[in-house]
A and B are shown apart, each in its own frame.
Chain A
Amino acid sequence: KAGVTQTPRYLIKTRGQQVTLSCSPISGHRSVSWYQQTPGQGLQFLFEYFSETQRNKGNFPGRFSGRQFSNSRSEMNVSTLELGDSALYLCASSPSLPPQAFFGQGTRLTVV
């Protein structure tokens, strides 16, 4: 089986712009979740989608949003980028049970 695929791998954006990141889950996995990793805060949960519905949400501002399509592929969007949004963004897909999340390689976002 192919693993979780995230695109793009690297991205440089300017403060104030918006960005969209993409994630293709493992075939058959209906749950897709997103995480932000920064040196100071570690791995922080952003949100989770299951069957096109947001099922869980972390403590991030409304500038961070996501969606899931009928084929389980997911996108996350960050609007009005701030310097502090520079991070490694990770997508994970999970089977229904057990809750073992399998991660993609991540997208390294740099905001300048």
Chain B
Amino acid sequence: DQQVKQNSPSLSVQEGRISILNCDYTNSMFDYFLWYKKYPAEGPTFLISISSIKDKNEDGRFTVFLNKSAKHLSLHIVPSQPGDSAVYFCAASGGDVAGGTSYGKLTFGQGTILTVHP
């Protein structure tokens, strides 16, 4: 049961244009969402996050949008640069569950390979 899904395995965009990466989740207990960028054989690099009490968070060229009713989030990169080419993972974590906390556990999507062409 995949609770976090990235349905697009790959995305190709031209330099300077907008990149939109999508992510869907099924677990309504998730209330914190993160995006990571990853190069092969390296650890993921944290990009941006959003709490479920917000619907938008911006950091420079990166904006994350959250639609709780649709259980959908997206990452917008504007403008896209060739250096943005990497695998992008969305991840989700939940709050208190059965008296404990599951914030330390991230559930990842399968990733989307972004290629930005010069």
Residues on A lying within 8 angstroms of B by beta carbon are 4, 6, 31, 33, 35, 42-45, 48, 50, 55-56, 58, 88, 90, 92, 94, 97-106, 108
B108 touches A88 (CB 8 A): no
Bound-state Cα–Cα, A56 to B51, Å: 21
Bound-state Cα–Cα, A101 to B38, Å: 14
6 A-B pairs within 8 Å (CB atoms) are namely A6-B43, A55-B100, A90-B44, A94-B103, A103-B43, A106-B43
Q: Is B32 an interface residue (CB 8 A)?
A: yes
- Measured CB to CB, the closest approach of chain B to A93, in angstroms, equals 10
A94 touches B104 (CB 8 A): yes
Q: Which of A33, A99, A105 makes the CB contact (< 8 A) with B43?
A: A105
Given A100-B34, A103-B43, A106-B43, A56 contacting B108 (CB threshold 8 A): no
- Measured CB to CB, the closest approach of chain B to A4, in angstroms, equals 7
Bound-state Cα–Cα, A4 to B45, Å: 11
Given A98-B49, A106-B42, A42 contacting B104 (CB threshold 8 A): no
Closest to B49 in A: A100
Residues on B lying within 8 angstroms of A by beta carbon are 32, 34, 36, 41-46, 49, 51, 89, 91, 93, 100-111
Across the interface, which residues of A come within 8 angstroms of B102, CB to CB?
Answer: 56
Across the interface, which residues of B come within 8 angstroms of A94, CB to CB?
Answer: 103-104
- Measured CB to CB, the closest approach of chain A to B34, in angstroms, equals 7
Bound-state Cα–Cα, A31 to B102, Å: 11
- Measured CB to CB, the closest approach of chain A to B101, in angstroms, equals 7
- Measured CB to CB, the closest approach of chain B to A44, in angstroms, equals 8
Closest to A30 in B: B104
A88 touches B49 (CB 8 A): no
Q: A101-B34, A101-B46, A103-B45 are in contact. List 7 more A-B contacts (CB 8 A).
A: A6-B43, A33-B104, A43-B91, A56-B105, A98-B51, A103-B44, A108-B41
Bound-state Cα–Cα, A48 to B34, Å: 18
A58 touches B46 (CB 8 A): no
Across the interface, which residues of B come within 8 angstroms of A33, CB to CB?
Answer: 104-106
